[in-house]
Structure 1
Amino acid sequence: MDFFNIYAVLASAVSALLVGFIWYHPKVFGNAWMQAADMTEKKMKGANMAKIFGLAFLFAFILATALPGIVIHQMGAFSLIGGDPANALPSYEAFMVDYSESFRTFKHGVFHGVLTGIFIALPILGTNALFERKSAKYIFINAGYWIVTLGIMGGIICAWK
């Protein structure tokens, strides 16, 4: 069984941008984020948006390549055999016959993606924001984006076989 699906990784990377377009829209959290980030329209107009979105997609892609190990349980068994089923003991094949499709749903991927957002993204963003002297509003707007985004990314990666 192949656990790395390039189409799922690409789709989940695109989903990060789509969620961002909605999340940071002025009618959702955009205005509140601008205020909390001390961002102005003038600062935004001077930006190279192609570079920003290109790098944002690259970073989302890198993140998406790490998510299979978090949201797909079978990756644990795969890693135990060194990534080569040809060298595995017969018990590996028996395990995969019994469990290869277990917990491979969108819902389960969302669950692990959200946990990743809460237990990895939130502490990282929160720590940076504290030292940058940003507000709790800033932390929760940005961490909320990543919690939702990682949930969607995890769902896509876990369910797309």
Structure 2
Amino acid sequence: MPTNFYMYFVAALIPMIIGFIYYHPKVLGTAWMKSNGFTMESLEGGNMPVIMGTAYLLSFVLAFGLTGSVIHQFNVASLLMPEVMEPGSAIQQEFSDFMAKYGERHRSFTHGMVHGFANALLFALPLIGINAAFERRGWKYVLIHFGYWLITLMLMGGLLSATLKFAQMM
């Protein structure tokens, strides 16, 4: 578990901020509304505290789930469970030595963005595309949403990769 757990709360703000900008009528909001058959009037009246609260909660879950993809060291520890959690165990010592040597490899904003790109391409695009096919939506709909998730996941991945810190196991 990261010692600066609060970064998940910060990362969960990224989808909210990007969505506010990206789906603004002067950016892609008008195209998004047209591809969905929405009007400004049809979007009024929603329970915004519930909508935004749900979106933030799910963004937090996304940030937490993205950690294993953008930080390779997180996965190394999972290979050694549960022995790595036993204080003073040989495996814990080996893991600590390994982390002392390689613990900061690939821990940059750029590296996290690469993994965010891969997640958008390999997960977000197929999920959006499958839903769009069954909802009888066009490629414009898919590309609008994919663009949003591409930007969002790249920024979230970059932030998490560059900022999450883990305590040494001893």
Calculate the TM-score normalised by the size of structure 1: 0.93
Measured in 2, the distance between the counterparts of 1:85 and 1:104 equals 26
Tell me which moved more, 78-87 or 108-117: 78-87
Point out where structure 1 has 5 or more consecutive residues left out of the alignment: none
**Counterpart residue type for residue 133 of structure 2:** L
Match of 2:94 in 1: 91
Distance change in 2, residues 1:105/1:85 (3 Å)? farther
Distance change in 2, residues 1:158/1:113 (3 Å)? same
**Counterpart residue type for residue 147 of structure 1:** L
The correspondence of residues 3-152 of structure 1 with structure 2, limited to 5 A, is 3=2, 5-82=4-81, 84=85, 86=87, 87=89, 89=91, 90-152=93-155
Q: Deviations over 1:110-153 (max 9, x none)?
A: 11011101100110011001100011000010111011101111
Q: Deviations over 1:35-92 (max 9, x none)?
A: 0011111211121111111111011011111011010010121101216263452322
| Greater C-alpha Rg | 2
How many residues are aligned here? 160
Instruction: Kindly indicate whether the alpha-carbon contact (under 8 Å) linking 1:112 and 1:154 is maintained by their aligned counterparts in 2.
Output: yes
> Percent of aligned positions with the same letter in both sequences?
42
Measured in 1, the distance between the counterparts of 2:120 and 2:90 equals 33
Measured in 2, the distance between the counterparts of 1:5 and 1:122 equals 31
Measured in 1, the distance between the counterparts of 2:25 and 2:19 equals 11
Point out where structure 2 has 5 or more consecutive residues left out of the alignment: 166-170
Calculate the TM-score normalised by the size of structure 2: 0.89
